[in-house]
Amino acid sequence: MKTLRSIISALLLTGTTVAMAGGNWQTLPETAPAPANNPTTSAKAHLGKMLYHDPRLSASGTVACASCHNVMAGGEDNRAGSVGIRGQVGGRSAPTVWNAAFNSVQFWDGRADSLEAQAKGPVTNPIEMGMKSWDDAIAALKQIPGYKPAFSAAFNSDEITQERVVQAIAAYERTLITPNSPYDRYVKGDSSALTDQQVRGMNTFAEIGCNHCHGGPAFNGPALPQGQGFFMKFPINPNPELESKYELSADSGRAQVTKSADDAHLFKVPTLRNIALTAPYFHNGNVKTLDEAVRVMAKVQLDKNLDDKQVGDITAFLNALTGEFPRQDMPRLPATPGKTFPFE
């Protein structure tokens, strides 16, 4: 039987999708699609980067989007629960912002249908950034004179509005793409991009069925229209030992949004891109290592007991999904010369 390495080595690749027994292996696009009403421009992305890193969008002046989604690392904060204003801790582990543009819905429970909708939530969440209202957030930004020229460059108008703030942040987030991982280079035809162990792991990943959920270019399921999320029940197979250890079923997931019992324990299928950098794992962050996450997922989702070799091989393959990170030059935030900003 031919190995995955020999199949790819023998193919004359003309695109970025390789079809074989195990499914279609797709590379990550280098640009993200943008909605017609919010095309990505350099000026808009630059403004979005400023807003993304500005803690003055929080009630205490201490929490920015970047606080929980650190683009100088894996795009999240490596915590089981993110820390918001006044030291409050959220109930779920922050998803990575890297490649979030390839999600059709945002948040673990899919309650936001776009990056723009997602950007609205944390600003007024009492645990996260804690503004009493978006009117308060906009009033705060209007007190910072340096934002007017940035809005003017991005929108041909210096008017500061909620819609423009979230559009700018979303435009910046659509630039956060990590292509050209060893896996991508391998699928494009570079048979030396993966180690033998990683190739075994890629085969095992498909053979046991991981790619039934974690398929597509971002390893987060099929490409769906914006707002139509790809959800899976977690856990599928009850396991008292793992439940006791990791509390996998304590969170009812999407049912908290829809109020429907049919949606109990449904979660958006997360990307596996850069997964080696985003421990701890799962919605509650209770699993601390990648190899243990592989073992747990195989058991509770696929009802399979993996041996150490299989776990090691799949873990090695998942490490090959770490891509190239675009350089992040931190923006100079506009100042309020000679006066204290009105934090509460």
- Indicate which residues carry an active-site annotation: 128
CA–CA gap between residue 2 and residue 334 (Å, rounded): 59
Query: Smallest Cα–Cα separation from 94: which of 69, 117, 112, 114?
Result: 69
The DSSP call for residue 85 is G
337 cis-preceded (ω within 30 degrees of 0): no
Query: Smallest Cα–Cα separation from 52: which of 71, 77, 33?
Result: 71
235 cis-preceded (ω within 30 degrees of 0): yes
Between strands 231-233 and 17-20, the pairing is unpaired
**Residues 114-119: contacts with CB within 8 Å, 24+ apart?**
114/35, 114/170, 114/226, 114/227, 115/169, 115/170, 115/173, 115/174, 116/35, 116/38, 116/166, 116/167, 116/169, 116/170, 117/166, 118/170, 119/65, 119/165, 119/166, 119/169, 119/170, 119/173
